[in-house]
Amino acid sequence: MATNKRKFGFWSVVGIIVFSLFWVALLSGNILWTSDTPPLQIIDDMDNQPKVKGQAPSSFFADGKATRDPIEYTVPRTGTKYDVSLDEADTKNINTVPATPEVLARGKNRFETMCTPCHNHDGKGNGLVVQKGFANPPSLVRPEAIAYTDGKFFHVMSAGQNIMSSYADKLSELDRWCIVHYIRVMQKGGTVPAVSQSTSSSDKQTTAQAGTAKTASAQ
């Protein structure tokens, strides 16, 4: 009797251990198993955080945008706030930046980076984003655009126009004038030789060289 009791106790312990190991193995998974589905997480740690991603839609805000606009009275830390209306653009935005080779090179560099996705390398529109379905912008080298004042170009870049958003937060005032000069070169069918310098060093160089020319204030 006593022996049987001991035997029964031994196998119960083995059974419980095997049973527990089975569940541990099942729940923890095996390092050699592969799966495309995300692992079952009992505690999330910080892997999954409730957050919004840039430019994603959001049901939380009334306007449906996750990216928030700056609140009223926000002022830029660098540069000046652009407050010129379209009517005033021709007379108030005065281009005082000289079209030096550095300015043209900088204008080309910024245009190629910020504008070609839509306006294409020749300024005629049909850039890559347009080829993927975005509205085709009007040609920047057509006669009407050639007749625009520098101030009008500066205005569109600073304030945006219809579905084209403002680039005031991405391009300094000086960069915007550099782009205006480069657009003028494109309109005349000219080219600007590529300069082999990194964006940041050309930033400093152009600023140093064109800095002496007072950048037209947008006031």
**Is residue 104 helix, strand or coil?**
helix
Residue 91 forms beta bridges with which residues? none
Q: Which of 135, 146, 194, 208 binds ligand HEC (CB under 6 A)?
A: 135
Q: Within a 10 A sphere around the Cβ of 208, how many other Cβ atoms?
A: 10
By the rule CB under 6 A, 174 interacts with ligand HEC? no
* Residue 117 is a binding residue for ligand HEC (CB under 6 A): yes
Nearest to 147 by CA among 90, 219, 85: 90
Least separation in angstroms between residue 69's CB and ligand HEC is: 18
The yes or no reply on residue 89 touching ligand HEC (CB under 6 A) is no
* Interface region with ligand HEC, contact rule CB under 6 A, candidates 101-109, 111-119, 189-197, 203-211: 111-119
CB 110 within 8 A of CB 178: yes
Beta carbon nearer to ligand HEC, 79 or 137: 137
Q: Which stretch binds ligand HEC (CB under 6 A): 15-23, 84-92, 115-123, 196-204?
A: 115-123
Contacts of 58 (CB under 8 A, 6+ apart): 52, 64, 65, 66
**Of the two residues 124 and 134, which places its CB atom closer to ligand HEC in the complex?**
134
> How many whole angstroms separate alpha carbon 30 and alpha carbon 13?
25
Q: Compute how many other C-beta atoms are within 10 angstroms of the C-beta atom of residue 23.
A: 9
Which residues form the interface with ligand HEC (CB under 6 A)?
114-115, 117-119, 129, 134-135, 137-138, 140, 145, 153, 156-157, 161-164, 167, 179
